[in-house]
Amino acid sequence: MYLSDRRRILVPPLSRRLTYVDERPLSPSPASKKALSKLDSAHKIYLRTSLLPDATGSAYIEHQQSKILALVNGPRSQKGSFSPTAKLVVDVKFLPFSSDAHVLGIQQGGGYTTSLERTLADFIYASLVPSIRLGQYPKSGISVSIVVISGPPVWNGLVKQIGASCVTAASVAVVDAGIEVFDIVTACAVKFRMGAEEQTEIDLDERGFDQNCADYGNKMNIGESAGASQPQSIGRGVVSYMASRDEISGFWIDDESQERTVGEATSSMEGASLIQVLKIACDGAKEVRKLVNAVLSQVFHNCEDASVQAAKKIKIAE
Amino acid sequence: MSSSAGSTPVTSRPGTPARSKDNPSSASDLPTHAIPGQPLCSAREYAPGPGTYFDEHAVVGGGGAIVASVLGAVVVSKPTPSTAKSSLRKDDEKKAAAADPRPRVSVVRPTANGGGTMGAVPDVDDVVLVRVLRINPRMANVAILVVGENNSATDEYGGIIRAQDVRETEKDKVKMQDCFRPGDIIRAQVISLGDGTNYYLSTARNDLGVVFAISEASGAPMYPLDWRSMRCPVSGTIEQRKCARPTS
């Protein structure tokens, strides 16, 4: 063919990728019973898509105290240097008084991005990038904007809960936009005691820290001796997970202990306990994925019904 | 936005299966609709079409699986596509489709979705409709308006038709001002993704070229006389253009 792309070297037109097939059967990992019993109450989520007709795709999610809106625009033409894949841009905005972040001075009403927003955006970017088929959209840009309408107190280290809801909402919004993806990403926040990771559970705290810790703090203030409940080091994390591909795309974990005495030996995390944390979080993310699947199925059926009704109307008009 | 646009308050439903199992119409075991990430069928029986991709690690019967990448209805097309527009597609793709005996599985988005519509991104070998922005002796700068049958994104992609890509013969004698004028609507084919700013387009085919042009004399739309001239129905003047062969 004489019309060839002379600017770059392309593969031969009829080439196919060499593929290997793993014939071994996959052994499904059994979800732990204890975690599942809590999952039922853990995931009371409200999820809705296609809220804003102006955006290419949008999703709104409510979970615990988080109320998050995700918008997707694109793919749009992108000026600048050539890029064979789409560029993903994520930005996060906290509305004023959406959380307690204004107390910390890390959230302003103004136009510039704060460090907390940037950290969240980076995590969401990392979680989404492996899921989107960016190669399908050369020379284009896809922008994901996330608005945190309300959230749990960031002061007390509950930012992971916001992160989890943001990732789920963003991925659903990308699907709503019709952008091709490898899989939907869902995320789940977990908390655990440092040094005793078998007590890992899905993070459902509403006030941050642990209730015991807060009580302990109050007692200290009024001069009582520390009771039986010692403040324990608490870690919190969030894991982004692609359930169909069984792939973790994002992982963010922090030690969120309230106080630490100088010189105290900090408990470190063993590899086995980290795996335990990941497992619980992935199980949680799988449950979220079931909800997402149910919602998307419903969306599809509603769309089909709408198009059937529209066709009927046209027939009647004729 | 109506409430039918896809709102579903859902509380915990742990029993909901991740995959849909209803398949009333299709004879095979394909689901009627697919959610992104859902494995549809074995790659041994079907070939991946638009809205799907091949994943060698996913397991459905073995040999890798075809997985949905958009939300929509599952459509199976025959192994030899007999579409009338196949002449517009590149020859290599036709050959590949003909050589592949497997039926093609694709996932099609429902048309009545509540959100905005996504603009199409031009790709190599796509036939596009463009508007001429400006011309110079070496090339014409254009804006891509329509890709295939979809509108382009809201902000337009730029393109360039170089003088040597205007027609197939006598390439060195092409005079750009006798082929295109600013404001013309042209049917062209993408030959390269080009650089960061512009796609490279070509009109070197009988069915490619100017499809709509306004007369400089009267401002009326002109009709083509032959492959290189158009006539104004009002003033009767004849202007030079590289015309596309009219299609019914």
Given this model, what pLDDT does residue B238 score? 92
The reply to whether domains B19-108 and B127-240 share a CATH topology is yes
CB pair distance less than 8 Å for B157 and A310: no
Q: What's the mean pLDDT in A17-21?
A: 70
| Share above pLDDT 90 across residues of chain A, in percent, rounded to a whole number | 22
Question: Would you call A120 exposed, middle or buried from its count of C-beta atoms within 10 A (0-12, 13-18, 19+)?
Answer: buried
DSSP string for residues in B211-229: EE-B-TTT-PBPEEEETTE
**Which of A48, A56, A175 faces B8 most closely, judged by CB atoms?**
A48
Q: What's the mean pLDDT in A42-51?
A: 83
Residue A202: pLDDT over 60: yes
Chain B nearest-CA distance from A117, in A, is: 26
Rounded to an integer, what distance in angstroms lies between the CA atom of residue A25 and that of residue A170? Answer: 33
Rounded to an integer, what distance in angstroms lies between the CA atom of residue A287 and that of residue B12? Answer: 8
* Contact pairs from chain A to chain B, CB under 8 Å: 238
The distance from CA B62 to its chain's CA centroid, rounded to whole angstroms, is 33
Given this model, what pLDDT does residue B9 score? 38
CB pair distance less than 8 Å for A300 and B71: yes
**Which of A7, A80, A133 faces B192 most closely, judged by CB atoms?**
A7
Q: What's the mean pLDDT in A238-248?
A: 90
Give the helix ranges, DSSP H, for chain A.
Answer: 33-42, 101-104, 115-128, 159-176, 211-221, 271-317
- Contact between B210 and B185 under an 8 Å Cβ cutoff? The reply is yes
CATH class of B127-240: mainly beta
Whether residue A20 is contained in a domain is answered as no
Residue in A300, A304, A308, A312 to test binding to B, most B beta-carbons within 10 Å: A300
Whole domain around residue A134: which residue ranges?
29-257+268-300
**Higher-pLDDT residue of B6, B222:** B222
pLDDT in tens, B178-227: 999 999 999 999 998 888 888 999 999 899 999 999 998 888 999 999 98
Residue in B71, B190, B195 to test binding to A, most A beta-carbons within 10 Å: B71
Q: Where are the domains of chain B?
A: 19-108, 127-240
Q: Which fold has domain B19-108?
A: OB fold (Dihydrolipoamide Acetyltransferase, E2P) (2.40.50)
Model confidence at A70, pLDDT cuts 50, 70, 90, reads very high
Kindly state the tokens that stand for A109: 């009403």
CB pair distance less than 8 Å for B37 and A181: yes
Least confident of A22-31, A134-143, B176-185: A22-31
Given this model, what pLDDT does residue A183 score? 92
Q: Which residues pair with B76 in a beta bridge?
A: B105
Rounded to an integer, what distance in angstroms lies between the CA atom of residue B26 and that of residue B149? Answer: 28
Q: Which residues pair with A188 in a beta bridge?
A: A239
Q: Which CATH number belongs to the domain containing residue A168 in this structure? A: 3.30.230.70
Which residues 131-190 in chain B show a CB within 8 A of chain A? 153-158, 165, 189
Whether residue A316 is contained in a domain is answered as no
Determine the residue type at A275.
I
Which residues 183-242 in chain B show a CB within 8 A of chain A? 189, 191-197, 199-200, 202, 204
Structural domain count, chain A: 1
Mean pLDDT of chain A: 77
pLDDT in tens, A104-139: 555 555 556 678 888 899 999 999 999 999 988 888
The distance from CA B63 to its chain's CA centroid, rounded to whole angstroms, is 30
Radius of gyration of chain A, Cα coordinates, nearest whole angstrom: 23
Q: What's the mean pLDDT in B94-101?
A: 56
User: In this structure, what are the phi and psi dihedrals at residue B91, rounded to the nearest 5 degrees?
Assistant: -60, -40
Nearest residue to A144 via CA among A180, A174, A102: A174
CB pair distance less than 8 Å for A44 and B11: yes
Angle at B60 between CA B54 and CA B64, to 5 degrees: 35
The CA-to-CA distance between both ends of chain A, in Å, stands at 48
Q: Please report, for chain B, how many H helices and E strands are present, in that order.
A: 1, 18
**Higher-pLDDT residue of B200, A264:** B200
Whether residue A21 is contained in a domain is answered as no
Given this model, what pLDDT does residue A142 score? 92
Strands B185-192 and B150-151: unpaired
**Higher-pLDDT residue of A177, B156:** A177
pLDDT in tens, B84-94: 344 434 444 54
Whether residue A140 is contained in a domain is answered as yes
